[in-house]
Chains A and B, each alone.
Chain A
Amino acid sequence: MDKILNFLEEQTGGTCYRSYKYCVDETEIPSVNYEESQSYTLQRDRYGETDTSLKITKDISKTAKQIQGNTPLFHYFLDGSRRIYKVDDIELGRKIFPIIGGQIGVACCKRENPSTFKKAILEHNLVMALPSEADKDGKNTEQFFNSVTQKINNLAKLQQYNLKFSKILTYPSKQLDRGETFENLGIAKIQDEMIECEKKIVSELVKKNLLNQDKYLLKDGSLQYKPMKSGDFRELSKIKSNYQCVVGLSKQFNPELSKDKTGKSNATKIAKLPLYHRTPAFMYQTDIVSTEVHFCIWYLRIRDVKYTESPFSGVVKVEKVLVTDNELEKGLGSDEVDLISANIINERSPVAYGTDTRWANHLYPIYLTEKYVKSQYISDLHFLNLF
């Protein structure tokens, strides 16, 4: 039965080396930490929230207690993940490029009541990242790779298992910068594809009118999407209205990058943030995304520092896109900031203690969504043997 590699050799005119196939995630953590590479431009002397009197931190525990027992604000939870494989090396015109394979999974789960947690939308895609060089002619690369994808999906081996590759992504075959590798370029492509998937799901939720003032979506990770060269959702500035009821929650953040309103480092304040307190919300804008998009960002401690490993674990970074003109001018309503914070505090249990080292920063519904996504992957052996 034809394997994908043979077919790729045939289509690209290259030579596959049949090198060792492995799952990158297991053997090595990619050196590029995409989420950490964000850099903000603080909007100096502008407040991220309407209450401008808040100078230090604010205790949210009372609000959290008050709303406990009410229907929680967060109804939908979104998480995306990817699994990357180094499938082979291919020689194209005397240069050697890696063939990167990947499984992308993005799921949105909904919580109808405390005991019913179910899938709302799932995207599970198999993708491949090849160098742009793989297209011999280089005239109409997109068409070429689309046609290759089509043909791969018609291979008997894939048909037998009822599997399909959704896309072949291309990474640039340019001269590498210092410290850059083709592997990482390929991985970055797959990561972008995953983010695209996330945006697509948010758009779907909005289109179906599922998100509203009482039903928010809590998304794992940052909302700072950099513009893409292609795709339906390439620019956040164009689709920011989709994010009216979406909150981004980062488990990990670089404390050094966090600044207060005056531009001084905020790291010690975050480290000393008392339990169930939040910082004032700041207004940021980042060039990576677009100068037109402003974010309201604040930090919130959900675990007592005495139980956590470091002063920063137990603190989460909360992000919200500012959508309306009013929000852009005055910042997010402080009541909403408090409400979101209180709801996040109330999501603090159960914990993933013992199963996830990031338990102190993890929220259980997000953890479950992540588990669900990962459970949908086909096994590594199965994936690698398609090639």
Chain B
Amino acid sequence: MTKRIGKIIATEKMPTTVDEFYFWTDKERVIKPFDVVKVEHIKNSVTFGVVEEISHFTDSPSFLAGYISSDFGDVDHKANTERIGMNYVKARVVGNTEGIFTPALDGHLVSLADEEDVKKALGLDEIKNPLPCGYIEMYEPPYDIRIPVHFNSHFLIGPEGAHLNISGISGLAAKTSYAMFLLKAIQNQYIHSEKENESVAFVILNVKGRDLVAIDEPNNDIGNADKAIYEMLDLAPEPFTNVKYYYPYSKEYPTTYANKEDVKSQTKQGKAFQFKYIYEDDKESIDLLFSNVDDPTQTMESIVNYISTGQGKFGGITNWEELSKEIHEHTKKGDTSGRDKEITVSSWRKFYRLFKKTLDKSSIFANRLGDGEVRLKEQIKNIQKNDVYVIDVARMDEETQGFVFGDVMRAVYDLKLGQIERKESDIPSKIIVFIDELNKYASKDVPKSSPILRQILDITERGRSLGIILFGAEQFRSDIHDRVKGNCSSYAYGRTNAIEVSKGDYQYVPPVYKSMLTRLKQGEYIIQNPVFRSLLNIKFPKPIYKQFKNG
């Protein structure tokens, strides 16, 4: 089923080249950016192109001619003849069936492609280790087609390439939904995998509302249309399995937005736990509490070192309360007992103020563990293949969120570095960490000394070989540290705003795609992956797990 839609135009000023060509179409032809077209070419070959820009023009040489043509500005005037006009389309060459690079020739026919052609054109037909990442829709009825799109999983979660960055404005871009869709696809694939050396586990941080606190419960609102899409993508329309939820400890009820009943029920089923930080085991993570504090003279770092190495009177401390008191001692003037002379009182005071603020606000800093209470580090040490850990930090303040995230990353890193005594074959070969609002920890404004930033850089730069994969999401890609972005193999661009697309990060994106980025619908993404020959405009179905209205 093909449909001829126009012919190639090559002019002196606009020649066809190895990279692009132009063709005319009827002015009423519906075609859109990202649609694939094919062109008859020499030696019985076919050149494929992806539509980039569509322009309409008439023989009117100026605006004034338009005004005059309407009977000198009469809006009611109707002409017997419409001005002659046509659309011309700029398309980017994505390949030729015979590998011929000769530019498309003037007057050659341009037609819509069929499913097989589109797959061939975009390089979707020869993807190894396929992992569903959405679907593309093209053309208008009766020629409309829908094609599933697959990543090569080796380019998403290693070993060839790793890490994914998702950007887009809150709500409209559905970043979390897309990340979860991919994670679900990964779990689906690996849970049935019989390969010993290929296994995954997931650590997901829930940073807002109740988004991710019921990912193992089905979404009852999902319709047949979405189910059909899951089926087309070869995905079981079932929620996540092997999920464990970790809520921050609080005396009465964990610090969370989740429903009390839900948490109770999850706890009863043995899949929800409350986490705490115990001084003696977690004192080495204190530095993470100060990751967003600008520390040009490194005094905060000195204090953290001083404490964690047990210098002065800090050696004998066994709980957070004592630590707080001891720090307080150092803030008093004139008392020099056991104090590092290098650190000034004012620095201690600043440290104390920041430390006390976090300590008082959160109940997770406790003396020991009770029933159903756990330490996250300990849990991550024992993470099993196909496990999904959801760590809820949504209701915590920003410093504590950072602390928990940093600690989790550190734990994952230690596990994969072999710092933990565990049989290598029992440890999941890949651990995928998903964090929304990555800009809080890895933005360009985060102090260079931030231990969390260092941790993220370590993971993006060395994680691929270690098997730690970061799926990060943020509103504005341009905010993110260059080295973090640069090390991602795949990018998903959701809807964003005009100011963002004018930034340098989008320099290579053609102008029409840029403006499309500002108009993408919910559930639509433009994705980039080394195995695709061009950017792809994909869609994905509604989440398969329980959704909460109002977050």
Interface residues of A (CB under 8 A from B): 68-69, 72, 74, 111, 114-115, 117, 304, 307, 346-355, 364-365, 368, 371
Contact = CB atoms under 8 A, between A and B. Distances in A.
Given A348-B71, A350-B83, A371-B59, A69 B64 contact: no
B82 A114 contact: yes
6 contacts: A68-B78, A349-B69, A350-B65, A364-B79, A365-B81, A368-B84
Given A111-B81, A115-B82, A371-B59, A353 B71 contact: no
B69 A353 contact: yes
Interface of B: 59-62, 64-66, 68-72, 77-84
Given A352-B65, A364-B79, A368-B81, 15 more contacts: A111-B81, A114-B82, A348-B71, A349-B69, A349-B77, A349-B79, A350-B60, A350-B66, A350-B69, A353-B64, A353-B69, A354-B61, A354-B64, A364-B81, A365-B80
Contacts of B61: 353-355
B22 to A, nearest CB: 17
A347 B80 CA distance: 6
Contacts of A346: 80
Contact of A355 (B59, B71, B72, B79): B59
Contacts of A355: 59, 61, 65
A114 B62 contact: no
Given A114-B80, A117-B81, A350-B81, A307 B72 contact: yes
A353 B81 contact: no
Given A115-B82, A354-B65, A368-B81, A349 B70 contact: yes
A203 B546 CA distance: 77
A347 B81 contact: yes
B471 to A, nearest CB: 50
A351 B62 CA distance: 11
Contact of A351 (B68, B82, B84): B68
A307 B73 CA distance: 13
A353 B80 contact: no
B162 to A, nearest CB: 54
A346 to B, nearest CB: 6
B79 A114 contact: yes
B58 to A, nearest CB: 8
Q: Which of B64, B72, B79, B80 has the largest count of A CB atoms less than 10 A from its CB?
A: B80
A3 B59 CA distance: 38
A352 B59 CA distance: 8
B69 A351 contact: yes
Nearest to B66: A350
Given A68-B78, A72-B80, A117-B81, A349 B71 contact: yes
Contacts of B80: 72, 74, 111, 114, 346-347, 365
A353 B65 contact: yes
A350 B83 CA distance: 6
A95 to B, nearest CB: 42
A354 B79 CA distance: 18
